[in-house]
Amino acid sequence: MGILNINDLKEGMTLAADVKNKHGNIMIKQGMTLTEKHIMLLKAWGIPDADVEGADREQLHQEEMKTVAPEVIEAIEKELNEIFPPIEGNELMSEIYRIAKKMKIRQAQES
Amino acid sequence: MNAKDIERIVSSLDRIPTLPVIYSKLGKLLQSPDATIAAVSNIISEDQVIAAKVLKFVNSAFYGFPQRVGSLQRAIVILGFNTIKNLVFATSVFDMFRGMDTGNAFDKKNFWKHCIGCAVAARVLAEAADLRNPDEVFTGGLLHDIGKLVTAVHYPERYSTVVRDVQAAGSPMVEAERKVFGYDHCQVGSALAVHWRFPPETAQMIGAHHLADGAVPSRKDIAAVHIGNILCMALGLGSGGERRLATVNPRAWELLGLSLSSLELVMDKIVKLYRENTEILDM
Give the start-to-end residue ranges of the domains of chain B: 1-8+100-283, 18-93
Task: Give me the pLDDT at residue B195, please.
Answer: 81
Hey, is the C-beta of B265 within 8 angstroms of any chain A C-beta? yes
The vertex-B157 CA angle with B152 and B158, nearest 5°, equals: 75
pLDDT tops 60 at residue B107 = yes
Q: What pLDDT band is residue B49 in, cutting at 50, 70 and 90?
A: confident
The whole-angstrom separation of Cα A65 and Cα B32 is 60
pLDDT band at A26 (very low <50, low <70, confident <90, very high): very high
Which of A40, A38, A37, A48 is CA-nearest to residue A6? Answer: A48
List, as ranges, residues 149-188 from B with C-beta within 8 Å of A: none
Chosen for mutation from A103, A105, A107 (greatest number of chain B CBs closer than 10 Å) is A103
| Residue B199 clears pLDDT 70, i.e. is over it | yes
For B214, counting Cβ atoms within 10 Å of its Cβ (0-12 exposed, 13-18 middle, 19+ buried), the class is exposed
Beta-carbon separation of B268 and A103 below 8 A = yes
- Chain B contact for A6, CB < 8 A? yes
A90: contact with B, CB 8 A cutoff = yes
How confident is the model at residue B282, as a pLDDT? 63
Residue type (1 letter), B212: A
Identify the helix (H) or strand (E) that includes residue A2: strand A2-5
DSSP assigned state of A7: G
Does the CB of A40 have a partner CB in chain B at under 8 Å? no
Residue pair B111/B144 in contact by the 8 Å Cβ criterion? no
Residue with more model confidence, B87 or A83: A83
- Identify the CATH number of the domain defined by range B1-8+100-283: 1.10.3210.10
Whether pLDDT at B147 is above 70: yes
Rounded-to-integer distance, Cα B31 and Cα B29, Å: 5
Q: Which helix (H) or strand (E) holds A26?
A: strand A26-28
How far away is chain B from the Cα of A2, in angstroms, using its nearest Cα?
A: 13
Quick one: which H or E segment has residue A51?
Answer: strand A49-52
* Mean pLDDT score across all residues of chain A: 88
